[in-house]
């Protein structure tokens, strides 16, 4: 996973999607799955929080859930496709 590009996409969406708070890093999923289905992942490092979020996306993609279907629609794990859909096509 290109964590640098992932971080750029998340922060372009909103600076609150990846932040340090109380000495830990928090990665939120709302940038990709919306506020209704959003979750947060905490890590001691930025990469640890992002990895937990990515592991959740990998595990959930394609399942018969709102998040599982959204991940397929958005093209997870292709960050290029996601970037295109979010910022060019405006999905």
What's the number of domains the chain is made of? 1
Q: What is the pLDDT of residues 52-91, one digit of tens each?
A: 999 999 999 999 999 999 999 999 999 999 999 999 987 6
- Please give the model's pTM, rounded to 2 decimal places: 0.93
Does 43 fall in a domain? yes
pLDDT bin (cut points 50, 70, 90) of residue 45 is very high
* Domain that includes residue 79, residue range: 3-84
Q: Is residue 17 part of a domain?
A: yes
The residues, ordered by sequence, that sit 6+ positions from 60 with a Cβ below 8 Å of its Cβ are 67, 68, 71
Q: What value does the mean pLDDT take over residues 8-28?
A: 96
Residue 89 lies in a domain: no
Whether residue 65 lies inside any domain: the answer is: yes
Strand positions, DSSP E, the chain: 18-21, 24-28, 40-43
Judge whether 32 lies within some domain: yes
Looking at residue 58, its pLDDT comes to 98
Within a domain: 33: yes
């Amino acid at each position: 996973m290109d964590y640098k590009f992932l971080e750029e996409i998340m922060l372009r969406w909103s600076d609150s999607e990846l932040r340090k708070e109380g000495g830990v890093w928090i990665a939120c999923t709302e940038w990709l799955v919306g506020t209704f289905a959003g979750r947060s992942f905490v890590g001691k490092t930025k990469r640890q929080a992002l990895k937990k979020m990515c592991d959740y996306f990998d595990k959930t993609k394609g399942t018969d859930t709102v998040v599982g279907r959204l991940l397929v629609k958005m093209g997870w794990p292709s960050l290029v496709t996601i970037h295109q859909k979010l910022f060019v096509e405006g999905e």
